[in-house]
């Protein structure tokens, strides 16, 4: 007699994990193991509304590990020059500008990201100095810079936008020659700075699979913190 025949009210537990679909795609899980897809909507504090797409998969997924990786992602506060000087306490900061003046500023190294930054079309100021692409495997900063400045970026098959305080992450697929855009995560009334962690996480995940990168176009100048005497004089 099988064990199942002992019970009428109970059935054997099926080992299934319900995981955000974008986590499964970004981390290379087998989508053929996804049995069902469903959407969850959440109401958060301060009027924030979030819509997430989940997939129920047979594979084991360490969701906590993924969430810790996102939580531990360093992200910047984008400052004006006045607020940067007010908040930055680093003994040395670095100004990055185009080496070729009539060409766009291109910085590939994600290591340039620091707690406080100034980011404009032709200037990035950080307490971290960007490495040339030949000296780093952590690429993708140009994509983050585009998101900061344009509120919109596409990297690989991913499209990320922030329009009218609506943050959206979509995955691009092709069917019958037509590009389809499936929204996997949407947040309304979320402050843009709050989105930086997941944006940087996605950029890093996709960038690690890319091989072709535009060459850097930047040069660096460093500035030291002015040391003052007891009378406040430099």
For the range 72-76, what are the long-range contacts, defined as Cβ-Cβ under 8 Å and sequence gap of 24 or more? 73/197, 73/200, 73/201, 73/204, 74/113, 74/114, 74/115, 74/200, 75/113, 75/193, 75/196, 75/197, 75/200, 76/113, 76/114, 76/115, 76/116, 76/117, 76/119, 76/126, 76/196
Structure confidence at residue 46 (pLDDT): 85
Q: What is the pTM of this model?
A: 0.87
Amino acid 233: pLDDT: 58
Write out residues in the chain with pLDDT < 70, as ranges. Answer: 1-16, 228-234
What pLDDT score does 12 carry? 47
């Amino acid at each position: 007699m099988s064990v199942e025949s002992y019970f009428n009210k109970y059935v054997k537990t099926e080992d299934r994990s319900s995981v955000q679909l974008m986590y499964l795609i970004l981390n290379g899980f087998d989508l053929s193991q996804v049995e069902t897809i469903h959407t969850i909507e959440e109401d958060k504090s301060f009027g924030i509304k979030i819509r997430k797409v989940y997939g129920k998969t047979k594979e084991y997924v360490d969701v906590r590990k993924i969430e810790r990786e996102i939580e531990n992602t360093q992200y910047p506060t984008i400052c004006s020059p006045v607020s940067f000087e007010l908040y930055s306490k680093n003994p040395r900061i670095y100004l990055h500008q185009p080496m070729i003046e009539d060409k766009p500023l291109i910085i590939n190294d994600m290591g340039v990201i620091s707690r406080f930054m100034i980011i404009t079309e032709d200037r990035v100021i950080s307490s971290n100095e960007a490495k040339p692409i030949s000296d780093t495997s952590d690429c993708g900063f140009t994509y983050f810079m585009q998101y900061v400045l344009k509120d919109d970026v596409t990297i690989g098959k991913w499209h990320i936008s922030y329009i009218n305080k609506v943050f959206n992450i979509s995955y691009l697929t092709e069917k019958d020659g037509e590009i389809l855009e499936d929204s996997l995560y949407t947040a309304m009334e979320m402050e843009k700075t709050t989105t930086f962690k997941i944006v940087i996480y996605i950029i890093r995940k996709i960038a690690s699979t890319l091989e072709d990168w535009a060459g850097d176009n930047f040069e660096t100048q460093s500035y030291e913190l002015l040391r003052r005497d007891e009378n406040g004089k430099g």
